[in-house]
Each structure stands twice: as C-alpha cells, then as structure tokens.
Amino acid sequence: MRTSTRLLWLPLLRGARSAQSVFVDVLDYIGEVTILLGAALRYALTGSFALKDALDQMAIIGVNSLPVVLLTILFSGMVLAAYTARQLVQLNLGGVVGGMVAVTMAKEAAPVLAAIVVAARAGSAIAAEIGSMVVTEQVDALRALGVNPIQYLVTPRLIAGVLMLPVITMLADVVGTAGGYLVASVNGVSSGLFIASIRRYLTADSVNTGLLKTLVFGAIIAIISCHQGLRTKGGAAGVGRATTTAVVLSVVLVYAADFLLVQFVFGTSQAVR
C-alpha cells in the first residue's frame, strides 16, 4: 500500500520539479535581458557609442525594412476596408469607413504589423549576425582588444530600433489608410466622404498612441535579437536556433507588450478622458 502511494506521488514530484526548473529558467532569462537592456541604455544615454554604427543600423533596420513593411500594411488596409466598407454602406454608415480605417491603422494595425515585419526581417538578421560572430570567436576577440560587445554591438542596434520603428509606422499609417481608401472607393464610399471621416475621427492622441507603442516594440526587437545572438552556442546549427528563437520571442513579446500598454497605460488614460 505504501509502495503504491509512493508511486502515485512520484509523477507529481517530478512535475513540480520540472515546473520549478522552468520558472527558474524564465527568471534567469528575464534577468539577463534586463541587465543587457540596462547596460545598453547606459551607453546610449551617455553617448558612449559610435554614431556611424548607429546610422548604419538605422539603414539596415529601418530603410531596408521599409518596402516589405509598407507592402504588408497596404494589403492590410485593403483587407480591413474590404471586410467593412460594403456592409457599412448598406447600413448607410459609409461616413465612418475612413475614420475606422485610419484610427485602426494608427492605434493598432500599423504599429503591431510593422513591428512583426521588422522582427522577422531585421531581428532575425541581428541574431544571425551576432550569433555568427559569437561562434567564430569574433566577440571574444573584441573583449581581448578591450572593446565592450554591448557598447559596440547592442547599443547601436537598440538606438536604431527605437528611433526607426516610429518612422516606419508613420509611413505605414499613410499607406495603410490609402489602401483602405482604394477599396472603399470601389465599394461606394466617395473620396470626399472618406477624407471627411478621417478628419472627424482621427485625432492626435490616436496617432501618438501608436507611435509611443513602437518605442517599446523597437526596444523589444533589438534587445531580444541581440541577446539571442550573444548567447548562441553550437556552431551553425546554434545560429539557426538563435535566429528562430529571436523572431518567435520578439513577436510574442510585442503582442504581450501591446496588451499591457493598452490595458494599463493607454486604455486607462483614454478612459479617464
């Protein structure tokens, strides 16, 4: 009887130990990322970074990602209008189509989709580049030369991510709304009515909400990608794992941050107003 009772408890004990191990690993990961972010911010705020490196990363993260982001947002705006314009016109609510598309783009669709595309394109490149430097011992060579890898590799990418994602999002707002306009005009919404609806419903607060979100999203993408690159192990296979993990974690954390910001920051302030 005692033996059977012990056998019943064994799986529970193993499960508890496994859950404890996962919890500890998560805390370790959060601590590592937080320390990396703090160190990179310290170098950024004190100006201890190469401006040329930051500008190069702005081109890689921002300018080179722009065509893919704008094309994605264009079709997203068109899909949004395609789902709603015809039904709203049938309900004599065509006057809200432009405002609905513009506000949705400014507050939610453009910031989040832009961050996802940048994470997939630039985040993966960051993790792969730094990971390759780690496995080929180039990062160790930097340390041997007295160069701090965080200062040299992470800080310029953090600055570029934080500064360029809002710029990309502003352009995405325009392109996504333009895509919605093209589809809405085909479904019976005149250009004057569409633009008048935008002027009526789109406010500076809506635009600012989306842009402020992108500051957080840009920091998440840059830090997660750099962290995964710096902890790469196992040669070429390890670089592939680091790249995949960087993209997956960045996308998940962007959505999580979006929810938390809406729930506890922007949602609360707008409710008070």
Per-residue HEC secondary structure of 243-270 comes to: HHHHHHHHHHHHHHHHHHHHHHHHHHHH
pLDDT at site 85: 87
Q: Flag whether pLDDT at 226 surpasses 80.
A: yes
Task: Give 270 or 38, the one with higher predicted confidence.
Answer: 38
Q: What is the pLDDT of residues 227-258, one digit of tens each?
A: 999 999 988 899 999 999 999 999 999 999 99
Of residues 203 and 18, more confidently modeled: 203
- Inform me whether the pLDDT recorded for 167 exceeds 60: yes
Residue 131 CB neighbours (<10 A): 29
Q: Percentage of the chain with pLDDT > 70? A: 90
How far is residue 231 CA from its own chain's centroid?
21
Q: What predicted TM-score, i.e. pTM, was given to this entire model?
A: 0.89
Distances (CA, A) of 62 to 65, 72, 160, 218, 237: 5, 15, 8, 10, 28
What gap in Å lies between CA 153 and CA 90, rounded to an integer?
55
Q: What is the pLDDT of residues 73-123, one digit of tens each?
A: 999 999 999 888 888 888 888 889 999 999 999 999 999 999 999 999 999
Alpha carbon distance 95, 84 (integer Å): 12
Q: How confident is the model at residue 268 (pLDDT cuts 50, 70, 90)?
A: low
What's the confidence (pLDDT) of residue 153? 96
- Token readout for 209 is 């909400």
Place of tokens 């701090």: 148
The pLDDT value recorded for residue 202 is: 94
CA dihedral 181, 186, 188, 191 (to 10 degrees): 40
Task: Give residue for tokens 């005149």.
Answer: 190
| Domain map (residue ranges) of the chain | 61-272
Instruction: pLDDT band for 17, please (50, 70, 90 cuts).
Output: low
Q: How far, in Å, CA of 126 to CA of 131, rounded?
A: 8
- Confidence bin at 194 (pLDDT 50/70/90): very high
Give me the pLDDT at residue 95, please. 87
- pLDDT > 80? residue 26: yes
**Left if phi > 0, otherwise alpha if psi is -120 to 50, otherwise beta: which for 159?**
alpha
Q: DSSP readout, 7-59?
A: HHHHHHHHHHHHHHHHHHHHHHHHHHHHHHHHHHHHHHHTT-S-HHHHHHHHI
pLDDT in the model for residue 149: 95
The stretch 142-155 carries a mean pLDDT of: 94
Got the DSSP string for 171-203? Answer: HHHHHHHHHHHHHHHHTT--HHHHHHHHHHH--
* Statement: residue 272 has pLDDT above 50: no
Tell me the C-alpha distance between 68 and 98, whole Å: 24
Higher pLDDT, 9 or 102: 102
pLDDT for the residue numbered 13: 58
Q: Please state, rounded to an integer, the average pLDDT across all residues of the chain.
A: 90
Tell me: pLDDT of 178 over 90. yes
pLDDT at 154 over 90: yes
| Residue 271 binned pLDDT confidence (cut-offs 50, 70, 90) | very low
C-beta neighbour count of 64 within 10 angstroms: 13
Number of H helices, E strands in the chain: 13, 0
Confidence band of 197 (pLDDT split at 50, 70, 90) = very high
